[in-house]
């Protein structure tokens, strides 16, 4: 990217800020590449086909929620593309999942969750010492799979609404995160155990 690697690593001058700016520009350029956009169209059609058969595609929002704060350590002028936080696998058909976590006795949106305006649902993303939207996503996927089985004629969008209506809770404060229902894990566990017996 035309920046001295040693200067970036040592944080000399504005090398890190220049590196970050050029890297973000490269990401924007790559996402507009014709091969990428063609692959995106193929993927979008595959999702539509999959969901038309009584299924739901569920994807993680991503874990870049802290990225702006980190970039601002090197430059106060951080410019991100409007869709910077959007997972490339997220589209209008899929269910995009963000993470929650416990903090000081309260559940809230995890600060690492992408600030993607397309987030549809939240679930707990902490698994012991590990965390991430990739841990929250299977929780939502399992609920949706069970609801699809119970409601075979329901579309993916209808099942997504069922999850929010049946198990969702809203927080008093989302900070700068998108507002979407967060599943009540205790309620889901009870429902899953009741339906097994």
- On whether the CB atoms of residues 107 and 122 are closer than 8 A, the answer is no
Taking the C-alpha atoms of 118, 124, 130 and 133 in order, what is their torsion angle to the nearest 10 degrees? -10
Q: Is 101 helix (H, G, I), strand (E, B) or coil?
A: strand
Q: Which residues of 133-145 are buried (b: 16+ CB within 10 A; e: fewer)?
A: bbbbbebbbebbe
- On whether the CB atoms of residues 181 and 170 are closer than 8 A, the answer is yes
Residues in the chain with pLDDT values less than 50: none
Beta bridge partners of 118: none
CA–CA distance, 183 with 10 (Å, rounded to integer): 44
- On whether the CB atoms of residues 185 and 140 are closer than 8 A, the answer is no
CA–CA distance, 131 with 146 (Å, rounded to integer): 24
pLDDT in tens, 108-119: 899 899 888 899
Q: What integer pLDDT is reported at residue 196 of this predicted model? A: 60
Q: What integer pLDDT is reported at residue 83 of this predicted model? A: 78
Q: What integer pLDDT is reported at residue 84 of this predicted model? A: 78
pLDDT in tens, 13-26: 788 888 888 888 88
Q: Which two tokens stand for residue 117?
A: 């305006």
Phi then psi for residue 184, to 5 deg, are -85, 105
């Amino acid at each position: 990217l035309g920046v001295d690697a040693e200067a970036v690593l040592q944080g000399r001058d504005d090398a890190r800020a220049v590196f970050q700016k050029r890297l973000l520009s490269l990401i924007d350029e790559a996402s507009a590449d014709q091969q990428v956009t063609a692959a995106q169209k193929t993927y979008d059609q595959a999702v539509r086909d999959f969901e038309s058969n009584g299924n739901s595609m569920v994807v993680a929002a991503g874990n870049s929620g802290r990225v702006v704060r980190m970039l601002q350590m090197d430059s106060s002028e951080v410019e991100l593309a409007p869709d910077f936080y959007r997972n490339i696998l997220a589209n209008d058909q899929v269910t995009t999942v963000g993470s929650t976590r416990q903090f000081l006795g309260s559940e809230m949106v995890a600060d690492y969750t992408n600030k993607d305006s397309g987030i549809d649902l939240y679930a707990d993303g902490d698994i012991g010492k590990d965390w991430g939207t990739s841990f929250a996503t299977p929780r939502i996927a399992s609920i949706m799979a069970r609801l699809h089985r119970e409601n075979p004629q329901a579309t993916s969008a209808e099942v997504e609404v069922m999850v929010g209506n049946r198990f969702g809770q809203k927080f008093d404060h989302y900070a700068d995160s998108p507002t979407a229902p967060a599943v009540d894990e205790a309620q889901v566990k009870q429902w899953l155990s009741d339906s097994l017996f």
